[in-house]
Amino acid sequence: MEKDALIYVAGHEGFVGSAIVRKLRCLGYRNLLLRKEAELNLTDQAETRLFFQRGAPEYVFLCAEKVGGILANNTYPADFIYQNIMIQTNVIDSAYRNGVKKLLFTGSSCSYPKMCLQPMKEEYLLSGYLEPTNEAYAIAKIAGIKMCQSYNRQYGTNYIVTMPANLYGVNDDFDPRDSHVIPALLRKFHKANLSKEDVVIWGTGQPKREFLYVDDFAEACIFLMNEYNSCEIINVGSGEDISIAELANLIKQVVGFEGSIVYDQTKPDGMPKKLLDVSKIRSLGWKAKTSLEEGTKATYDWYKESGSAQ
Ligand code: GFB
């Protein structure tokens, strides 16, 4: 991407989109095309097409999506499948119709099968059944992946697909109804420090997850936009996983909590393990920089300073 190229970041107010905008600005990309959700409804085909005709972006980071943790995914599958399929379909097709040079689509590690071989290589996609708690979201993401690959095959476009590990970091969603495990636990430990109550962790604590700091993911997306031109999906992760029980102990230390942890086994565990094979992106010269300890501390500092902790 040329430094003065016109770049559209779809979903720039969101968690991933805002990290990409921060990183682009920091790297000297000045010509950003941004539209708030209130100004442009990407689930509307006519509005999205008109926006692309008038705005004529050269590059697109497609980060506008409906996301949430295990509870939100399990409770609102219709919203997850509808909104994600509408947004990505409208953006990908409008990009093609208006000659966008390159588009990056954000997939998800939850699109790999529930009982996938570990670490998960890119070629294991669609090799087994999905995890039921996030099947609707995973199917929407798989549709987006296949749409990018189909447009590349039929129309010769250059649309690339990243498969991130579980992301966390500044600007994350701390609302317990929607949040992923790291913001959820930072909030729970923070509140329990004040109330002196036990912290309740969902599930057995046994599942293992790989976490990636959102600023590292943003850096990887810009790196891939500049360096990667292939129809094949590409994993983006830290290359390490940790059990939820170990994560709870780490967050307990970060927050400075001295009380007890209890497990609520009526809540779902989700996938037993999700560790990406990151050898492909490493062979291109990119590696995650932020350790889980540094990342959770930075996220906790942001949580306290942002006012979300009130
Ligand atoms: O982060 P999380 O919601 O995402 O949950 P998934 C990860 C693990 O942490 C699960 C446990 O085993 C949860 O049961 N957990 C323990 C908690 N306590 C909590 C808590 O208070 N809140 C939350 N949220 N989890 C999501 C998918 O799955 O991963 C999405 O549902 C998306 O589709 C995302 O792909 C990356 O890894 O289980």
Dump pLDDT digits (tens) for 93-109.
999 999 999 999 999 99
* Stated pTM of the model: 0.97
Chain-centre distance of CA 229, in angstroms? 21
Q: What is the rounded distance in angstroms from the CA atom of residue 190 to the CA atom of residue 144?
A: 37
- Averaged pLDDT for residues 177-191: 97
DSSP state of 271: S
Q: How many CB atoms lie within 10 A of CB 305?
A: 10
Q: How much is the pLDDT for 166?
A: 98
pLDDT grade for 1, boundaries at 50, 70 and 90: very high
Question: The dihedral of CA 281, 287, 290, 292: what is its sign?
Answer: positive
Give percent above pLDDT 70 in the chain: 100
Q: What is the rounded distance in angstroms from the CA atom of residue 80 to the CA atom of residue 93?
A: 20
When the pLDDT of each residue in the chain is averaged and rounded to a whole number, the result is 97
Q: What is the rounded distance in angstroms from the CA atom of residue 141 to the CA atom of residue 118?
A: 20
pLDDT grade for 307, boundaries at 50, 70 and 90: confident
Distance 202 CA to ligand 1 centre (A): 9
Q: Using CA positions, which residue lies closest to atom 29 of ligand 1?
A: 69
Q: What is the rounded distance in angstroms from the CA atom of residue 55 to the CA atom of residue 171?
A: 27
- pLDDT: which is higher, 310 or 158: 158
pLDDT at 234 over 90: yes
CA distances from 122 to 51, 54, 246, 280 (A): 33, 36, 27, 9
pLDDT at 198 over 90: yes
77 within ligand 1 shell (Cβ under 6 A): no
DSSP state of 134: G
Among all chains, which residue has been given the structure tokens 């609302």?
175
Q: Using CA positions, which residue lies closest to atom 33 of ligand 1?
A: 134
pLDDT grade for 90, boundaries at 50, 70 and 90: very high
Rounded to a whole number, what is the distance in angstroms from the first to the last CA of the chain? 41
CB 34 within 8 A of CB 21: yes
Distance 139 CA to ligand 1 centre (A): 17
